[in-house]
Amino acid sequence: MLSQIYTRGAPSGIRVATRSSKPHGARAFSIQEHASQSILSENGVNVPRGRVATTPQQVTSAIDYLGGSGVLKAQILAGGRGKGTFDNGLQGGCAARVYLGPNDWHVFALKISSLNAQELAGRMLGHRLRTKQTLERGLVVNKVYVTEQVQYEKEFYLSFAVDRTQSKPAIVVSRSGGMNVEEAAEKDPDSIIKLHLSYGKEITRNDANAIAKVLGLVSEHSIEQLHTMVSRLYTIFKAKDATLLEINPVVITKEGNLIWLDSKFSFDDAACFRQPELAKFRGEVEDKNPRQALAASHGFAYVSLDGTIGNIANGAGLAMATMDAIAYYGGTCANFLDAGGKATKDTMVNALRLVLSDERVKVLFIIIYDGIIRGPVVAEALIDALKEISKSKIPIVVRLEGTDSAEGRKIASQF
């Protein structure tokens, strides 16, 4: 969402490592909303109380815990949930600010009433939710997050990210928050402020005053609270090796209190060894795509796509160029897989197993450029891997280029 705001709604863009736009070499590890909110709460940020549920019965228990009403949110690693669609036709039924009453459900985003908690949860759990950030088939909802409902007067957008063009962290704030933040940013670019920060310095009162001016906060109570909370958030952002911390929306109550309703974290994957407490959330990546989790364990960059052509390459640029060539001739890839700089037998075996485990793959393209490793070595590794695991009858197209590639192609042609 942040990258979209700044490429479309403001003159000088900040590009961050998100699932939709990620610079090569900067891999991000994201967690679900409930986990993000838990981290904020543990560090003194004012967030609504909530419980995670994996069954309709647990949803009912969570509502009872919250006093008979709450907000039901589907948990997937994708934005745009409030405007998403379930595979059973349920419209906008994820975050969508679903307000539950003790006797009657009034679902504002869905315009449905008289549904009990278990029934609505049953229409979410186990079903695929499709948003503008997912593939066409959507993502399976295995958890819902039930939080207390909050009455508020205004909502805002706030995020911290790494501005890679400046090699600095930055804070981005908009007076327009909620599900329509992108549209609001397009219509009113002046509603956004971006402040570059330093890892060695804290948020100053002058920074807080500049942010408050954009948000329209005037009371000393609200501005002081803003300074305290934004400082706390920036400390968390740095301490957790985050590449993105997005809060949308931040709301202000009629009493002038700030509450951080919904958050999203992405972390520098290369720094996760310093964050052992994040390991418990790794399973949620598997919920999104088991192959993606397996690929990460082998050091591959892998993205599942909607097509039928497998794509293995030893370089992100090469893999993307292959995708472009396939698309130019009317094909669609089932995946993007960058196997990295190594082309050993183990690398080829793991890459082939990963891609061929996808039943949608009807043909496989393997594109290898031999730089440091000689072509014959690559060819022999590939042949050994194919002998070991390839029981599939699908066609496999291989292209070898680079150091001694002619000799490598000669060896490969004998297989």
Residue 219: which CATH number?
3.30.470.20
Same domain, yes or no: 91 and 59:
yes
Q: Could you count the other beta carbons within 10 Å of the beta carbon of residue 38? A: 17
Give pLDDT, residue 203: 94
Q: CATH number for the domain including 125? A: 3.30.1490.20
Tokens of 313: 């390459």
Q: Dump pLDDT digits (tens) for 58-75.
A: 988 888 888 887 888 999
Give first-to-last CA distance, the chain, whole Å.
48
Quick one: 387 and 357 in the same domain? yes
Q: Quick one: pLDDT at residue 307?
A: 94
Residue 415 pLDDT grade (very low, low, confident, very high; cuts 50, 70, 90): confident
Q: Does residue 198 form part of some domain? A: yes
Number of separate domains in the chain: 3
List, in sequence order, the alpha helices (H) in 138-215. Answer: 181-187, 205-215
What single letter denotes the amino acid at residue 90? Answer: L
Q: Looking at residues 265-292, what average pLDDT do you find?
A: 77
Q: Are residues 61 and 113 in the same domain?
A: yes
Of 124-133, 255-264, 372-381, the range with the lowest mean pLDDT is: 372-381
162 lies in the same domain as 182:
yes
pLDDT band at 107 (very low <50, low <70, confident <90, very high): very low
Q: Is residue 38 part of a domain?
A: no
For the ranges 79-88, 201-210, 225-234, 255-264, the lowest mean pLDDT is seen at 79-88
- Domain closes at, from 255, 280, 305: 280
Question: What pLDDT does residue 64 have?
Answer: 86
Is the same domain home to 160 and 260?
yes
Pairing of strands 242-252, 263-268: antiparallel
Kindly report the backbone phi and psi dihedral angles of residue 211, in degrees, each rounded to the nearest multiple of 5, phi listed first. Answer: -65, -45
Specify the higher pLDDT residue, 160 or 27.
160
pLDDT above 50 for 12: no
Please check whether residue 104 lies inside any domain of the structure. Answer: yes
Residues 404-413 have a mean pLDDT of 88
CB 75 within 8 A of CB 58: no
CA distance 310 to 314: 14
Label residue 189 left, alpha or beta by phi (over 0 means left) and psi (-120 to 50 means alpha): alpha
Question: Both 252 and 298 in a single domain?
Answer: no
Can you give the pLDDT at residue 225?
Answer: 95
Q: What domain range includes position 135?
A: 49-147
Residue 76 near residue 288 (C-beta atoms within 8 A):
yes
121 & 175 share domain: no
Q: Confirm whether 44 is domain-assigned.
A: no
Cβ atoms 366, 396 nearer than 8 A: yes
Same domain, 263 and 181: yes
Write down the pLDDT at residue 193. 85
Q: Domain ends where: 250, 280, 310?
A: 280
**β-bridge partners, 335:** 304
Condensed to tens digits (0 to 9), the pLDDT of residues 284-318 reads 654 556 787 788 778 888 988 989 999 999 889 99
Contact 320, 336 (CB under 8 A): yes
Least confident window among 37-46, 101-110, 189-198, 204-213: 101-110
Residue owning tokens 């097509």: 307
Tokens matching residue 415: 């297989």
- Write out the catalytic residue numbers: 157, 246
Going across the sheet that includes 301-304, the strands are 301-304, 335-338, 309-313, 363-370, 396-402
Residue 236 located in a structural domain: yes
CATH code of the domain containing 386: 3.40.50.261
Q: Are residues 89 and 166 in the same domain?
A: no
Structure tokens at 32: 């679900």
**Residue 128 domain flag:** yes
337 with 370, same domain? yes
**363-370 vs 309-313, strand pairing mode:** parallel
Q: Is residue 381 part of a domain?
A: yes
pLDDT tens digits for range 112-136: 222 467 788 898 999 999 888 887 8
Considering the domain architecture, whether residues 158 and 269 belong to the same structural domain is answered as yes
CA atoms within 13 A on the CB side of 331: 18
- Tell whether 12 and 111 lie within a shared domain: no
Q: Which of 51-65, 78-92, 351-365 has the lowest mean pLDDT?
A: 78-92
* Domain stop point among 216, 249, 280: 280
Residue 130, token pair as written in the block: 């499709």
253 — phi, psi (to 5°)? -85, 170
